[in-house]
Amino acid sequence: TDDKPTLRLVTCGSVDDGKSTLVGRLLFDSKMLLDDQLDALAADSKVAGTAGPALDFALLVDGLQAEREQGITIDVAYRFFATRRRRFVVADTPGHVQYTRNMATGASHAELAVVLVDACKGVVSQTRRHSHILALLGVRHVLAAVNKMDLVGFDADRFTAISVAFRTMAEQLGIADVQCIPVVACDGDNVFGNSGRMPWYDGPSVMEHLEAVDVSDGIESRPFRFPVQWVNRPNPEFRGFSGRVAGGTVHCGDPVVVQPSGRRSRISGIVTADGRLQQAVSGQSVTLLLADEVDASRGDVLTSGTPPMVTDHIAAHLIWFDDEAMRRGRRYVLKSGTSSIGAVVSTMKHRVSIETMAKESALTLEANEIGCVEVVLDRPLVCDAYRDNRDLGSFILIDPFSRRTVAAGLVDAPLRRPANVS
Ligand code: GDP
């Protein structure tokens, strides 16, 4: 069962649209809560020794890893279920308008979003707001569950009208893949199997779609990225670099460049707990051996293909979390992957309306606001644009005095220094 692929989902919708009912239904119907996985998780959380119980579940989820290390309390509940074909991790976020940060955190981990739409109300401003955040965070696959079809008499025309409105909006936002499904979450119609009450619908059920949807988006054929988590040196003969492949594929014999130093070497071995591999792909945790005695340590990134950015000045979108507003010129700590670097927000360019995505002039960012800024770092960071690599393109800002995570950031572009390709 271990090699089953995992699909990461986020659910969104207004309060009372039926999110909990739908997720509860999926859990109940799949009847396969992964007890063993939850046990393993409990052991993991003891080792990590992080914050409260809700966040311990986040240990299973990749993405803005550093925010967990920082123990921020974000109101996102993770739930797990599985079928014969796939494992699922659901980030369940509260629907209140003000909790942009919760939704952003859930969505930053997600490959697919399930957006609940109440069949009585159709596409409302909250649907639009959530879809904007999904688009900003690079969620390219959306399942629109048009719920409470029983309350509109299972009307096919109603469903079609809502589907058209939803697709039009998603297209404008550049969301590539949309599947609309009419459901009655509380009774299970079109949740697992199909519904005798909506014979006019001949598409997949929610579960059929979740099991089949292809969310790989070519991540395995993108440039290779491997942030070094630690140097594995059990004896003088063995020196490996341990971490998780954060993009692309690596083979034995491949040439690699260590960033930010720009030193070159070649992969001489790929080691896992279960033995040696010829190749490793995005998402796999491995130890890589290099042919040369090159220096690399935690925070460095092994790369090949298009070089990443190595820069101390970046343009980024910030999603502000903290109740204390952003202060230009104030010192923060930027954490990205395995790096921590002192940073200041040098320029506030504009705020982004969550309602319309329009640019608005602003001097600062308050909690749950999104804006475009420039950040200057104490030393160069190895990163990619968020659109190219969600792991190397995301960061958090920490207030060094309160130790709170004050913002999540998405890298738009470097503003100085090309990558090192000596
Ligand atoms: P959430 O706030 O989005 O998590 O919504 P809930 O799952 O708590 O559901 C809100 C209410 O809608 C509850 O009373 C549910 O029983 C009800 N509900 C959920 N799905 C349906 C449905 O398909 N039809 C009807 N009539 N009610 C539903």
pTM above 0.90, yes or no: no
Per-residue pLDDT band at 57 (split at 50, 70, 90): very low
Per-residue pLDDT band at 31 (split at 50, 70, 90): low
Write the burial class of residue 315 (CB in 10 Å: 0-12 exposed, 13-18 middle, 19+ buried). Answer: middle
- Is the pLDDT at 71 greater than 90, yes or no? no
Cis bond before residue 227 (omega within 30° of 0): no
Share of the chain above pLDDT 90, in %: 48
Report pLDDT digits (tens) over 303-355: 999 999 999 999 999 988 888 999 999 999 998 888 899 999 999 999 998 77
Q: 13: CA distance to ligand 1 center in Å?
A: 11
- Is the pLDDT at 120 greater than 80, yes or no? yes
Task: Say yes or no: CB of residue 15 within 6 Å of ligand 1.
Answer: yes
pLDDT (average), residues 2-22: 83
Q: Which SS3 state, helix, strand or coil, does residue 13 take?
A: coil
Pocket test for ligand 1, best of 16, 23, 126 (most atoms within 8 A of CB): 16
Task: Say yes or no: CB of residue 16 within 6 Å of ligand 1.
Answer: yes
Report pLDDT digits (tens) over 374-402: 999 999 999 999 989 988 998 889 999 98
Give the residues across from 340 on adjacent strands.
Answer: 335
More confident residue, 69 or 108: 108
Q: 75: CA distance to ligand 1 center in Å?
A: 20
Tokens representing residue 237 in the block: 């003969």
As a whole number of angstroms, the distance between CA 221 and CA 281 comes to 9
- Is the pLDDT at 50 greater than 90, yes or no? no
Q: How do 6-12 and 87-92 pair as beta strands?
A: parallel
pLDDT value, residue 1: 37
Task: Say yes or no: CB of residue 279 within 6 Å of ligand 1.
Answer: no
Ligand 1 atom closest to Cα of 13? 3
Task: Say yes or no: CB of residue 18 within 6 Å of ligand 1.
Answer: yes
Q: Which of 70, 50, 92 is nearest to 406 (CA)?
A: 70
Ligand 1 atom closest to Cα of 187? 23
Q: 148: CA distance to ligand 1 center in Å?
A: 8
pLDDT value, residue 56: 31
User: Which residue owns the Cα nearest ligand 1 atom 17?
Assistant: 18
Mean pLDDT over the full length of the chain: 84
Report pLDDT digits (tens) over 216-255: 888 888 999 999 999 988 888 788 999 999 999 999 999 9
- Is the pLDDT at 62 greater than 50, yes or no? no
Pocket test for ligand 1, best of 11, 12, 15, 21 (most atoms within 8 A of CB): 21
Q: 168: CA distance to ligand 1 center in Å?
A: 26
- Is the pLDDT at 78 greater than 80, yes or no? no
User: Which residue owns the Cα nearest ligand 1 atom 11?
Assistant: 16
Task: Say yes or no: CB of residue 20 within 6 Å of ligand 1.
Answer: yes
User: Which residue owns the Cα nearest ligand 1 atom 19?
Assistant: 18
Q: How many residues does the chain have?
A: 422
Which contiguous run of DSSP H or E holds residue 209? helix 206-212
Q: Where are the alpha helices (DSSP H) in 31-112?
A: 35-48, 53-56, 65-69, 100-108
Angle CA 200–202–204, to nearest 5: 135
Task: Say yes or no: CB of residue 184 within 6 Å of ligand 1.
Answer: yes
Tokens representing residue 320 in the block: 């502000």
Binding residues for GTP, by number, are 13-20, 92-96, 147-150
Q: Which SS3 state, helix, strand or coil, does residue 51 take?
A: coil
Q: 137: CA distance to ligand 1 center in Å?
A: 27
Q: 21: CA distance to ligand 1 center in Å?
A: 6
- Is the pLDDT at 105 greater than 80, yes or no? no
Q: Which SS3 state, helix, strand or coil, does residue 96 take?
A: coil
As a whole number of angstroms, the distance between CA 325 and CA 320 comes to 8
User: Which residue owns the Cα nearest ligand 1 atom 14?
Assistant: 16
- 97 within 8 A of 136, measured Cβ to Cβ: no
Report pLDDT digits (tens) over 127-175: 988 888 888 888 999 999 999 999 999 999 999 999 999 999 999 888 9
User: Which residue owns the Cα nearest ligand 1 atom 22?
Assistant: 148
Indicate the residue type of 255.
Answer: P
pLDDT (average), residues 353-366: 89
Write the burial class of residue 122 (CB in 10 Å: 0-12 exposed, 13-18 middle, 19+ buried). Answer: middle
